[in-house]
Structure 1
Amino acid sequence: MSDLYNEPAAETVTETKVQKSLFIAHVCICSDEAEARERIRSISSDHRQANHNCWAYRVGSLKCEEYFSDDGEPAGTAGKPILGAILRQELTNVLVVVTRYFGGIKLGVRGLIEAYGNAASEGLLASGKVLRRVRTSYEIRMPYDMAKLMDRLLDSCDTGGEFRTIEYGEYIRVRCAVPLDLAPRVEETLEEWKNTRRIRGWDPVG
């Protein structure tokens, strides 16, 4: 199983017009289902005057969850084409909501499938994508004299500043996210340091 995955590089809002209907594609980065559902509620509230707010999302890195909704459009004409656009881009941690303001001309089943799918595809292309690695998170508690040694360990595991937060107090508390394939080596080292009392302790988080 690969520990690499793609997610959108940025959140975007794009517009397309088809037969006088306005389609607005909102591309959002969401790490879990709860966040995706909250963004759906927010966008639907912002566009409560729209005829439809159809959506699809795919979240997770090792095990992905996928859901979609036609929001009143004929079954299979909106949410599924949006999800199809996400799958073609091989993305996860993404929500796409396509808002439709009806322009007075009916598009038919085929026309709706194309309109929603194309709107989602254009939005995703505008967002771009970035390759990520699945990571395991830890909290490490240690005395100040271990700071440099800990930095060397984490630097060697592709865990730079983007994946590391530090709190200073009576002792140093580090939260870090280590690539999945390097986690066994990090855990072995941390356990050795804990047993020899070089650090106060460590725990997996998240």
Structure 2
Amino acid sequence: MTEPYLTIAHDTTNEKVIKKSRFICSIARVSSDEEAQAFISKIQTENRKATHNCFAYMIGDNDQVQRESDNGEPSGTAGIPILESLKLAKIHDVAAVVTRYFGGIKLGAGGLIRAYSNTTTEAIQQAGLIQRVKQATLQITVAYSQHDSLLYYLKENNLEVAGEEYGVNVLTTVYVNEDELATVKQALTNRFNDQLQITEGPKRFNEIPYQN
């Protein structure tokens, strides 16, 4: 079974004060390198007086694009911990920038790693997670005499109606999870004795809250 496709539910900001240094994690959904870089630039501009604006992001179904930067912190103490926090949460298409305003007390390598990691993890928790489920639309042409029966069947089987058009017959459009498509089409064909005309329409992502 494939793992669910997760991302954050909302863009958010989380702040922690550790030994007088302010760590602020800004996290957002992004779908391309360009979007991620634009988000990072925006945060850097808003926090131009900060000591550091470290970041990491992952893009793609299989996290094909991964970038991270320590932005002047000791090598491996900021960008990688931020990236690892994203990986640990198993989220995709997300960019995180952790801004640091230095408070005068050095944290050491271990302290920095924990600070950047924990600030990011808390931001992810604050943002919440959603699961993106790929769905197809099925366009079902049904005679008026069977329309009520179709609607009853769809409701009983928790199939969401996207819309209806009325003409010589009724065109009912429903959303179906892509991995259930063949099963649903066969079930509809059997239930209505092959009297429905069923075609596939555009695809979409349905987003539902996710609880681990």
**TM, length-normalised to structure 2:** 0.67
The aligned counterpart of 2:41 is: 41
Letter of the 2:133 counterpart: V
Q: Is the 8 A contact 1:3 1:180 kept in 2?
A: no
CA contact under 8 A between 2:140 and 2:197: conserved in structure 1?
A: no
1-structure distance, mates of 2:72, 2:150: 55
Task: Judge conservation of contact 1:139–1:205 (CA < 8 Å) in 2.
Answer: no
Q: Tell me which amino acid in the other structure corresponds to 1:42.
A: K
Stretches of structure 1 that go unaligned for 5 or more consecutive residues are 190-195
In structure 1, C-alpha distance between the alignment counterparts of 2:154 and 2:100, rounded to whole Å:
47
Which residue number corresponds to residue 178 of structure 2?
A: 180
Matches within 5 A, 1:29-178: 29-61=29-61, 63-65=62-64, 66-130=66-130, 132-137=131-136, 160=160, 164=162, 178=176
- What secondary structure sits across from 2:104 in the alignment? coil
Match of 1:193 in 2: none
The alpha-carbon deviation at position 99 of structure 1 amounts to: 0.8
Could you tell me the percent identity over the aligned residues?
A: 34
Counterpart of 2:179 in structure 1: which amino acid?
D
Aligned residues: 198
Task: Work out the CA distance in 1 between the residues paired with 2:39 and 2:110.
Answer: 28
CA distance in 2, matches of 1:159, 1:72: 52
Q: CA RMSD in A?
A: 3.9
Matches within 5 A, 1:181-196: 181-185=179-183
1:72-110 per-residue CA deviation (whole Å, 9 max, x = no partner) reads 222211111011222222222322211111223333322
Q: Is the contact between residue 134 and residue 203 of structure 2 (CA under 8 Å) also seen in structure 1?
A: no
Task: Name the structure 2 match of 1:17.
Answer: 17
Contact 2:7 2:92 in 1 (8 A): yes
Are the aligned partners of 1:3 and 1:134 in contact in 2 as well (CA < 8 Å)? no
Residue in 1 that maps onto 2:27: 27
Structure 1 pair 119/203, CA: closer, same or farther in 2 (3 Å)? Answer: same
Measured after TM superposition, the shift of residue 23 of structure 1 is 0.6
The 8 Å contact of residues 5 and 92 in structure 2, kept in 1 or not, is answered as yes
Q: Which has the larger radius of gyration?
A: 2
The TM-score with structure 1 as length reference comes to 0.68
